[in-house]
Amino acid sequence: MASAPSLAASLNPATTSDDVQRAELSEIDASTKWPALFLLASAVGWLLIGTVFALISSVKMHSPDFLGNYEWLTFGRTRTAHLNAVVYGWSVNASFAVAFWLMARLSRSVLRHAGLLIVAAVFWNIGVTVGIAGILIGDSTSIEWLEMPAYATPLLFLAYALVGAWAVITFRFGKSKHIYVSQWYILAALFWFPWLYSIAEIMLIFAPARGTVQALVNWWFAHNVLGLWFTPIGLAAIYYFLPKVLGKPIHSYYLSVLGFWSLAIFYNWAGVHHLIGGPVPVWVQSAGIAASFMMVIPVIVTAINHHLTMVGSFNALKYSPTLRFIVFGAVSYTVTSLFGSAMAIRSVAEITHFTHFVVGHAHEGMYSFFTMVMFGSIYYIMPRILLKEWPSAKLISLHFWTTAIGSTLYVFDLKIGGFIQGLLLNTPVLAHKFGLQPGTDPVPFIDTVKVTIPYLQWRTYSGILMTVGHIAFAINFAWIIVRSAQATKTQPTLFRTPPEMEVTAQ
Amino acid sequence: MNRAPLIFLGIFFALAFSWTGIVLTNQISYGSLKPVYDETEGKSYPLQTPGLAARGKQVYEDLGCIYCHSQQIRRPGYGDDIERGWGDRQSVAHDYIRENRVLLGTMRTGPDLRNIGARQTDRTWHYQHLYDPQITSPGSNMPPFAFLFETHKIVGQPSPKAIQSKLPAKYQPPAGYEIVPTERGETLVDYLLSLKDTYAYPETKNVYVEPTPEAGKEEKK
């Protein structure tokens, strides 16, 4: 470490190649072991629970009598339990683990106060458990994305405060002078979330604002959880793993800076597009639409940066599980974001708002982008903290193909079904032009329901596919933990053996 | 050079920007709207939700009705809300100021319910529909809410609230038994029947002006 790192080396996580750095990295990785393992194991547990609720809810949408006699399993509760389990259980636990691990590595600092993190993680998971149990027994607040009853939130807040304190400490102890773009995203996310969450809790639950100001606060929060928490963590992971696995620098440092600041400025205004046409001031709606559309800039900038880094290295997709998931996520981010900008336009929102189209879009963001990136990250992190390799490449392959095909089918299916539903619901003239209905009068409402049923059935089939993938993932995850270290091979687990080991990571 | 403070400032102001614009500005500009006192009727609008209906609203919330039913009418010319008969006028901010929890909703898997109390006034219809939506709306994908009813033995006089005579043959209880709504079921229907925005606030009167040949330059607002 005597020589001052060159600019390129300090910008790019891929250039830590000498042995000293390797040793340092593995020391850092080892220090993250217990908190990361606890968070990831909880995440996988919640993923399975969330998947069960997802399937139940999906079946109920086309076969409403399914489990219809149990109040605690009525659609309004299982759907909410699903959302909270996958968002606050799976996604937040996974993003905590990935964020810490990246922070420790990029700050070149061993993880201090691991106990603090484990306590925080325990509190967080107790809070989520209490919250979801509360939803099922009938204490849901019915505020979208904030359904957990008020008695669960102090636990979550306490957990988050510990996490924040930890992150600041780690960052301050960091040895690396340069701040890599992934760290920008993680620091920003860690700072933004508590602000959003505390304002929303106060103005919606503890001292509710008057009238539809609540709706504005609600969507300012709910969309920013996506845009200012999950998106930055997901992008941080892509910015780290893409160059790391490929062994080459990110395409352009300056683009990554531009992408970061344009996202920070535009995304946080975009949430109002959930209220287009609603009883809130029109100027806020217009501002939200403009901001949503301006999101094209950070998205295109980030897309150029990610995809041009990939160009010339597509061959590596044949071998590396991490890369395959990460690239799938990066491409989905581009696609879903451009769709999102388009959906904010008033004439498009007239059709897609209030329909299954939005559900398809939401899953494209939270699943095809964020969840797939987390899968890829976990495939990279686990062998490094456990010093063991994944037991089965076949299970990883099964996991990838079921989730990739399942989520793609899901998104296409609901977008098509939702668009037809929206045409029939809102624009009889247009629906007539498309040949969807006989006249130009509004069709009976029940017809707009019936037309969606086949699409809702296909949603269940794609959900079953994803469930298979999640089970494969969970088996591999449990297996790598319990298998003995001696039995393990020293080679990384790849889909197939590359002709020469040009791929530096697994 | 340590750029961390600069980056942090940027991060801070980014969110401060929308927090000020979306949350604070609107809280100041219309976060303290007052009810409108109508002198001819001697009442303040919007009306206070009656006690039973307010309890029913909690049932609506804990069952998650909001995930399929919106409560907002969009303006004429934008969507088909008015043409579908979901309301006579668009919803305005005033309509919601008495509500401790505003349930605008973002899905219309089922119809909008903002004025369900004005367009479906029959209590029995609501009981039938909640007991099993297929009774009143065949082909619906709304789940049954039969758990908001209880079947019990008739002791003495049959209950005046019993609904089995209004249900088709396949739902009939054994002889000597009756089906009555639970308290939760009753208050939920009270709430649904209370949902109607029929008062015309000053701002609802000229939100949309039908364009006429003479008045081509009419203001849209």
Q: Decide if A369 contacts A338 (C-beta within 8 A).
A: no
Can you give the pLDDT at residue A358? 97
Domain final position from A133, A159, A178: A178
Count of A-B CB contacts under 8 Å: 221
CATH number, domain containing residue A448: 1.20.210.10
pLDDT above 90 as % of chain B: 79
Q: For residue A256, tell me if it sits in a domain.
A: yes
Give the pLDDT confidence of A12-43 residue by residue, as tens digits. Answer: 555 545 667 778 888 888 888 899 999 999 99
A186, part of any domain: no
Instruction: Return the minimum-mean-pLDDT range out of A334-348, B79-93, B206-220.
Output: B206-220
Structure tokens at A207: 């001292």
pLDDT at A26: 84
Same domain, A272 and A155: no
Q: Do B96 and A203 touch (CB under 8 A)?
A: no
Query: Helix or strand or coil: residue B151?
Result: strand
Query: In the structure, what pLDDT confidence band is assigned to residue B211 with cuts at 50, 70 and 90?
Result: low
pLDDT at A58 over 90: yes
Same domain, A330 and A465: yes
Report the pLDDT averaged over residues A141-160: 94
For residues B82-108, average pLDDT = 94
CATH number at residue A32: 1.20.120
pLDDT at B213: 63
Q: B134 pLDDT band (50/70/90 cuts)?
A: very high
Please give the average per-residue pLDDT across A4-10, as a whole number: 45
- A122 and A260 co-located in one domain: no
Please give the Cα distance from A441 to A294 (Å, whole number).
36
Beta-carbon contacts of residue A370 (< 8 Å; ≥ 6 apart):
A91, A230, A231, A233, A234, A329
pLDDT band at B103 (very low <50, low <70, confident <90, very high): very high
Domain count, chain A: 2
Closest CA to A376 of A479, A253, A236: A236
Contact A434, A428 (CB under 8 A): no
**Which range among A104-108, A399-403, A484-488, B65-69 shows the weakest confidence by mean pLDDT?**
A484-488
Mean pLDDT, residues A268-277 taken together = 95
In chain B, residues with a C-beta closer than 8 Å to the C-beta of A212 are 93, 96, 102, 104
- Helix, strand, coil distribution of chain B in percent, nearest 5: 40, 10, 50
A chain contacts of residue B97, beta-carbon cutoff 8 Å: 210-211
**Average pLDDT for residues A124-150, to the nearest whole number?**
96
Question: Where does the pLDDT of residue A502 fall: very low under 50, low under 70, confident under 90, or very high at 90 and above?
Answer: very low
Neighbouring residues of A345: CB distance < 8 A, sequence distance ≥ 6: A289, A293
Residue A224 lies in a domain: no
Pull the structure tokens for residue A161: 């405060």
- Cβ neighbors of B14 (< 8 A, separation 6 or more) are A188, A261, A264, A265, A268
- Label residues A430-464 b or e (16+ Cβ within 10 Å = b): bbbeeebbeeeebbebebbbbbbeebbbbbbebbe
Which among A456, A437, A439 is positioned nearest to A447, based on CA atoms?
A437
pLDDT, tens only, A384-421: 999 889 999 999 999 999 999 999 999 999 999 999 99
Residue B1 pLDDT > 60: no
> Is residue B90's pLDDT more than 60?
yes
Residue A141 lies in domain? 26-178
Among A197, A177, A188, A337, which residue's Cα sits nearest to residue A261? Answer: A188
A167 plus A300 within the same structural domain? no
Q: Give tens-digit pLDDT for B182-209.
A: 999 999 999 999 999 988 888 887 655 5
Q: In chain B, what residues touch A141 (CB-CB under 8 Å)?
A: 61, 101
For B187-206, give the secondary structure using H, E and C: HHHHHHHHCCCCCCCHHHHC
Report whether A240 contacts A256 (CB < 8 A).
no
Mutate which of A445, A452, A456, A460 to disrupt the B interface (most B C-beta within 10 Å)?
A: A445
Residues of A in contact with B91 (CB under 8 A): 278-279
Q: Which tens digit of pLDDT belongs to each residue from B13-57?
A: 999 999 999 999 999 999 999 999 999 989 999 998 889 999 999
- Number of residues that this document lists for chain B: 221
* CATH architecture, domain B36-147+184-205: Orthogonal Bundle (1.10)
In this predicted structure, the answer to whether residue A488 has a pLDDT above a threshold of 80 is no
The nearest CA of chain A is from the CA of B53 a distance in Å of 17
Evaluate if residue B210 carries a pLDDT over 80.
no
Whether residues A375 and A280 share a domain: the answer is yes
Q: Are A272 and A420 in the same domain? A: yes
Which one, of A69, A443, A55, lies nearest residue B139 by Cα?
A443
Evaluate if residue B217 carries a pLDDT over 80. Answer: no
Rounded to whole angstroms, the Cα distance separating B168 from B170 reads 6
**Tokens 């904030």, residue?**
A146
Q: Do A214 and B139 make contact, defined as CB atoms within 8 angstroms?
A: no
With a pLDDT cut of 70, the percent of chain A lying above it is 93
A178, A193, A209 - which closes a domain: A178
Closest partner residue to B67 (CB to CB) among A79, A210, A445 is A79
A272 within some domain: yes
Residue type, A80: T
Residue given tokens 């500009």 in the structure block: B29
Flag whether A231 is in a domain.
no
Candidate from A354-358, A450-454, B152-156 with smallest mean pLDDT: B152-156
Q: How many residues does chain A have?
A: 506
H-helix or E-strand containing B45?
strand B43-45
pLDDT at A215: 96
Q: pLDDT band at A505, cuts 50/70/90?
A: very low
What is the distance between the alpha carbons of residues A347 and A349, in angstroms, rounded to a whole number?
6
The whole-angstrom separation of Cα B151 and Cα A212 is 40
Q: What is the mean pLDDT of residues A120-136?
A: 97
pLDDT of res. B3: 77
Interface contact flag, B102 A79, Cβ < 8 Å: no
A79, A89, A277, A407, A426 from A362: Cα distances, Å: 14, 17, 20, 11, 21
pLDDT number for residue B119: 93
Flag if B64 and A80 touch (Cβ within 8 Å). Answer: yes
Q: Which residue, A183, A175, A323, A187, is CA-closest to A248?
A: A323
Cis, peptide link before residue A194, omega less than 30° from 0: no
Domain final residue, candidates A178, A196, A212: A178
CA atoms within 13 A on the CB side of B145: 25
CA within 13 Å, CB half, A189: 28
Task: Look at residue A189 and tell me if it is in a domain.
Answer: no
Question: Considering just the CA atoms, what is the radius of gyration of chain A in Å?
Answer: 23
Neighbours of A500 (CB within 10 A): 6
Could you tell me the pTM of the whole model? 0.92
pLDDT at B7: 87
- Give the H or E element holding residue B127: helix B123-131
- Domain assignment present for A72: yes
Task: Give residue A315's pLDDT.
Answer: 87
Distance between CA atoms of A217 and A230, rounded to whole angstroms? 19
Is residue A209 situated within a structural domain? no
